[in-house]
Amino acid sequence: MESILEIINQRIRELTRLIKKYPDAPNSSSIQARLTEAKHIQSLVETIYNTEPPAQHVIIDLRNMDFMKDKDGNINYYTTEEEACTVCGMNEFENAWVMKLIYNHIEPAE
């Protein structure tokens, strides 16, 4: 199955060929507008593809109910469940939870 980006790139190539082949066609401004729109969509999709999702998983060691932390004592966050599970395996945790963070509640300051 083609990715969205492949489909958009194919459409851009088709529109570019049409403009080059028929530069003075009565509907060339319409084709140019479609090409501009396709390039804009391409840019948006590339931005989405290249944007790393926020870290959303943590590891909790159930022996002491503490988060997995770095050397400075900051909680480690993992982008994917698979990454967090791999860390659990590499550290040979006896009993740990990989938890997905779905909501961050912050009390308003009074």
Domain ranges of the chain: 4-50, 57-100
pLDDT attached to residue 53: 63
pLDDT attached to residue 60: 93
Query: For the chain, which ranges sit under pLDDT 50?
Result: 1
Predicted TM-score (pTM) of this structure? 0.48
- Token pair for 9: 């790139």
CB 30 within 8 A of CB 24: no
pLDDT attached to residue 52: 62
pLDDT attached to residue 47: 76
- Token pair for 32: 């140019």
> Helix or strand or coil: residue 67?
strand
DSSP string, 72-97: TSPBP-BSSHHHHHHHHHHHT-SSEE
Residues facing residue 98 across a β-bridge: 59
